[in-house]
Amino acid sequence: MALIFERPSTRTRVSFEVGVTELGGHPVVLREGETQLSRGESLRDFALVLSRFVAAIGIRTGPHRTVEELAEHSAVPVVNMLTSEHHPCQALADLLTLRERFGDLRGLKLAYVGDGNNVANSLMLLGAAAGMEVAVATPEERRPSLSVDGASVTLTSDPEAAAEGAHALYTDVWVSMGDEASAASLRTSLEPYRLDEALLERARPEAIALHCLPAHPGEEITAGVLYGERSAVWDQAENRLHAQKALLELLVA
Which positions are annotated as active-site residues?
60, 87, 90, 172, 212, 240
**80, 86 Cβ separation under 8 angstroms:** yes
Closest among 36, 30, 92 to 245, alpha carbons compared: 92
State the Cα–Cα distance between residues 173 and 190, nearest whole angstrom.
10
